[in-house]
Structure formats: structure tokens, C-alpha cells
């Protein structure tokens, strides 16, 4: 499915205008590296994304990996669609998305849905961004089968490249 969508995005890209761009980025949530008052640090985490950004809309795919989140590895994939605002110099982007995906923690039976809000600053073909992520996820069932999901709020940063 992802390959077909990527082919579609690349096909659309061939007809794009000069304000369209294709980006690749890495992402991390630094708050998980530090101990909080009542819990230990969650440790290393990293994600990656690829986006096709048009003038007002964008589509993207993300993956995120936490090797030892509460002693059980975490891997997710999601697809997103969203809205952009860019300034007249095309070097500042504000965005919001809706995304849906799957989480692998002892199997792929865990769904997630959420939204991201962020800002990115572009310097020619390199950009830096800050992202707030709100999600409802079902992966807490691995600890207790009676649980029916949980909400989570995360802040992260991203560094990326414009591919076109």
C-alpha cells in the first residue's frame, strides 16, 4: 500500500508547481531521555518521515522507534494528511495534520490516531522543526488486556532535507 501511495505522490510531483516540495526528516522526543519525578527515563527514540508538501495541503508517512519503552520495544507506522501555511518567502511553515497508524509492541494489534501541530524553518534545502503530537493509542493492552487505550502528549524536534 505504501509503495503504491509513494508512486502516486511521485506522479503528482512530476506535475507540481514551484511551491511544492518533497521532504525527508528525522525526529526525536528529547523529554524521554531524562528522568522525571516519578519515573525513570524512557531512553533513546528516533523516527523518520517523508512528506509531499503542496501549497496548502500535505501527505506523509512516518515511522517511530523506541528500543526499550518500559522494557518492551515500540515501533509504529502512520500515514497523515494535513494543512500548511507558508510565509511569502517560503522559509517558514506551520502545519497541522490528522494521522492514523499501527503500533508493534508484541504484535501489530495496536491502533493509534492523532494530530500533530508544528512549525518548521527552512534554510535552502535544510530545515529544523518543533512538533507537538497528541494521540490516542491502544498499546497499553500489553500491560492489562482490560485497558482500552490511552491519550498521550509529546513534544519533539525534527531535522530534514528538501529533496527537490
CATH number at residue 88: 2.40.160.20
> At 17, is the pLDDT very low, low, confident or very high (cuts 50, 70, 90)?
low
For the chain, the domain total comes to 1
pTM of the model: 0.84
**Which residues form the domain of 142?**
2-162
Please, what is the average pLDDT of the chain? 89
- What ranges in 2-143 are assigned the alpha helix state H? 2-13
pLDDT higher at 161 or 164 = 161
State pLDDT tens for residues 88-116.
999 999 999 999 999 999 888 899 999 99
List the Cα angle 69/71/73 in 5-degree steps. Answer: 55
User: Lowest-confidence range among 29-33, 65-69, 132-136?
Assistant: 29-33
DSSP code at position 34: S
Amino acid at each position: 500500500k505504501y509503495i503504491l501511495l509513494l508512486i502516486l505522490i511521485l506522479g503528482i510531483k512530476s506535475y507540481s508547481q514551484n511551491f511544492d516540495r518533497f521532504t525527508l526528516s528525522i525526529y526525536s522526543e528529547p523529554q524521554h531521555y531524562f528522568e522525571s519525578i516519578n519515573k525513570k527515563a524512557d531512553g533513546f527514540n528516533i523516527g523518520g518521515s517523508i512528506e509531499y508538501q503542496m501549497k496548502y495541503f500535505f501527505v506523509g508517512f512516518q515511522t517511530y522507534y523506541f528500543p526499550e519503552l518500559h522494557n518492551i520495544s515500540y515501533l509504529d507506522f502512520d500515514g497523515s494528511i494535513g494543512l500548511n501555511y507558508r510565509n511569502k518567502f517560503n522559509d517558514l511553515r506551520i502545519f497541522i495534520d490528522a494521522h492514523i497508524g499501527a503500533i508493534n509492541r508484541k504484535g501489530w494489534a495496536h491502533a493509534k490516531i492523532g494530530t500533530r501541530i508544528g512549525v518548521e524553518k527552512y534554510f535552502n534545502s535544510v530545515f529544523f522543526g518543533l512538533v507537538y503530537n497528541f494521540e490516542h493509542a491502544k498499546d497499553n493492552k500489553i500491560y492489562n488486556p482490560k485497558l482500552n487505550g490511552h491519550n498521550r502528549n509529546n513534544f519533539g524536534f525534527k531535522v530534514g532535507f528538501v529533496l527537490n
